[in-house]
Amino acid sequence: MSESTASVQHSKSAPTSVEYGVMCPADRMDNQQLAAYARGAEEAGIDTIWVPELYGRDPFVTCALILGATRNVRVGTAIANVYVRDARATKAAAYSLADGYGDRFDLGLGLSNKVGNAPRGHDWLAPLKKMNDFIDRFDEAELMFPQSGHVPRFLAAHGPKLMAFAGNRLDGAFTYLQTLDYSAEAKHRLGDGKLILMQPSVFIEDPAQARDMARKAIAIYMPLTNYHRAWRERGFADADFADGGADHFIDALIAWGSVDRIRERYQAQRTQGVDHIIIIPVKLDMNSTSGWRTVEQLVLG
């Protein structure tokens, strides 16, 4: 199914408002730079600053640094890997942050993948079974300090079973590198749950340069078989995502161009049911005032 067809079939009235987040490249910054980044995001009108977990900074410690440097913006993990720490430790960290920083913390969880978990020494388990066990233990864990805060919980999910799980047991789900029609299907499975889109956005207007930069930005994900399965389910052939991705494949997944064109892409996702867009800025200097002004244009314009 083409994106244009999907837009017609699944289109509905756009929500009156949408939340905006930004993915924080925390591993590239020292603490002073991280604090400046956080303040820039807050001043630009960002609703939530999201912190990934890769092979660098601990996401919970990083969230604490950002929460301490800001006053009102929410801060969350996107995502904390459920293989890395047990459910009780995760709950203790999450509620420590919620209680300590005015209930501004969101817990984003994910399973990563076989490639990412093998170097850590973890055996891969069936994803739904792993998440059921993790959330059961999280819910049952009793902590030795009073928890007055509320911690919204979200799951990085692609397949229908995990998406349904996120809708039934959590507050919503993240999706990444998927199409407009997928967003509509995901929102349907989530029901009242919040659909959060991680959206790479390339701030280059020249088509060839923009697509080339998009390919570089997502290159780490292109060999992963779990994404291959998801893309095939969206009707792409293997040739579409070979050699960095065909032009039409890149255009289906990545927002690029002028601020107005990227805003139009965000609006299209909103009409498919996306509640929160996490901006992943590509070719935008987020260490400069002009970079945050561009984000502010997207968020408030």
- The pLDDT tens digits of the residues spanning 185-232 come to 999 999 999 999 999 999 999 999 999 999 999 999 999 998 999 999
> Residues near 260 by Cβ (< 8 Å), separated by ≥ 6?
none
Neighbour count for residue 292 (Cβ, 10 Å):
25
Query: How does the average pLDDT of the chain come out, rounded?
Result: 91
User: Does position 120 have pLDDT exceeding 80, yes or no?
Assistant: no
Under the phi-then-psi rule, with left for phi > 0, alpha for psi from -120 to 50, and beta for the rest, what region is 133? Answer: alpha
Element housing 280 (H / E): strand 276-282
pLDDT at 256: 98
- Domain 17-300 top-level CATH class: alpha beta
Residue 264 tokens, joined: 């139009």
Q: What is the pTM of this model?
A: 0.92
DSSP code string of 235-247: T--GGGGSTT--H
User: Does position 251 have pLDDT exceeding 80, yes or no?
Assistant: yes
CB 4 within 8 A of CB 251: no
Q: If pLDDT is split at 50, 70 and 90, which confidence band does 125 have?
A: confident
Q: If pLDDT is split at 50, 70 and 90, which confidence band does 117 have?
A: low
Poorest-pLDDT segment among 75-79, 95-99, 296-300: 296-300
Read off φ and ψ for residue 203, nearest 5 degrees: -90, 60
* R_g of the chain, CA atoms, integer Å: 19
User: Does position 88 have pLDDT exceeding 60, yes or no?
Assistant: yes
At 227 the three-state DSSP class reads helix
User: Does position 3 have pLDDT exceeding 50, yes or no?
Assistant: no
Tokens 């913006």 belong to residue: 73
> Residues near 130 by Cβ (< 8 Å), separated by ≥ 6?
82, 83, 111
User: Does position 31 have pLDDT exceeding 80, yes or no?
Assistant: yes
Domain layout of the chain by residue ranges: 17-300
CA contacts within 13 A on the Cβ side of 48:
25
User: Does position 13 have pLDDT exceeding 70, yes or no?
Assistant: no
- CA gap 223, 229 in Å, rounded: 11
User: Does position 11 have pLDDT exceeding 90, yes or no?
Assistant: no
Dihedral sign of CA atoms 256, 262, 264, 266 in order: positive
Residue type at position 275:
D
Task: Fill in the DSSP letter of residue 44.
Answer: T
Q: How many residues appear in the chain?
A: 301
pLDDT at 113: 63
Angle at 113 between CA 150 and CA 155, to 5 degrees: 20
Residue 197 tokens, joined: 């889109």
